Amino acid sequence: MQTPAHLQNRVYQYDVEPELEPEHAQSTRENAPPVQTSYKSRPNTVQPHRSEPAGEATLLDPRLIDRTLPAAKATAATLGWINSVATTVLTARDVQTFITDRPATTIALLAGFGFAALLTFGQIYTSGRYRKTYAVFLFPDALMTSIQWSKWLLLPLFLKLIPIWWVAVMTAAIIGGIIGIISARTPERLTFGVR
């Protein structure tokens, strides 16, 4: 009968090594009869072949998270940048439609994209250096993201869930503001780190 694969390469929890005597004691016993060596155990420094604790099996190797972490950060940063730029462009479109009472033109979309680029540039170069100036660039970015998310999803959702309209509006505004701040700050931190 063949030994199972997991028992062929056994890794012991403790190594056994001889407990050596001091040199001066050994030199005085050169002519003495051999003495039985005592042993002591110490924790084994050799890591087991498996990454999970004994008795626990995982569907995926936990080291997969370490290997894919840079790609996950890049994906999250990209989604954040896209969300931030898209909400700024759509807010500029809504502003032109409100002012002219006509459908938005390409000029509004280009202006929104330019404004988004300006805000992003300002946030990147003032983060960690000039707090007040950073807040000036962060606030409109977070506000436009908050307005768009409230318009698309949050306000209709909370008006259905909460019977009191002003509570629904306040809840949508608060959650939208949190989404706006996270959306504005997270891609910057993931891309350039905390400064």
DSSP 146-181: HHHHIIIIIHHHHHHH-SSHHHHHHHHHHHHHHHHH
Q: Consecutive sets of 10 residues in the chain, 195 residues long: mean pLDDT of each?
A: 55 50 54 57 53 66 87 92 93 93 90 93 90 93 94 94 94 94 89 78
Of 76, 195, 59, 55, nearest in space to 131 by CA: 195
Residue 142 burial (CB < 10 Å; 0-12/13-18/19+)? buried
**Per-residue pLDDT at 145:** 94
CB 145 within 8 A of CB 167: no
Token duo for residue 187:
């891609």
Distance, CA of 122 to CA of 137 (rounded, Å):
6
Of 143, 137, 155, 136, nearest in space to 180 by CA: 143
**Per-residue pLDDT at 57:** 75
Find the radius of gyration of the CA atoms of the chain: 32
**Per-residue pLDDT at 14:** 46
Of 70, 52, 69, nearest in space to 61 by CA: 52
Name the β-bridge partners of 40: 17
What distance lies between CA 184 and its chain's CA centroid? 15
**Per-residue pLDDT at 161:** 95
User: Which spans in the chain are helix H?
Assistant: 5-8, 23-28, 63-100, 106-126, 131-149, 155-161, 165-192
**Per-residue pLDDT at 128:** 83
Distance, CA of 67 to CA of 191 (rounded, Å):
18
pTM: 0.63
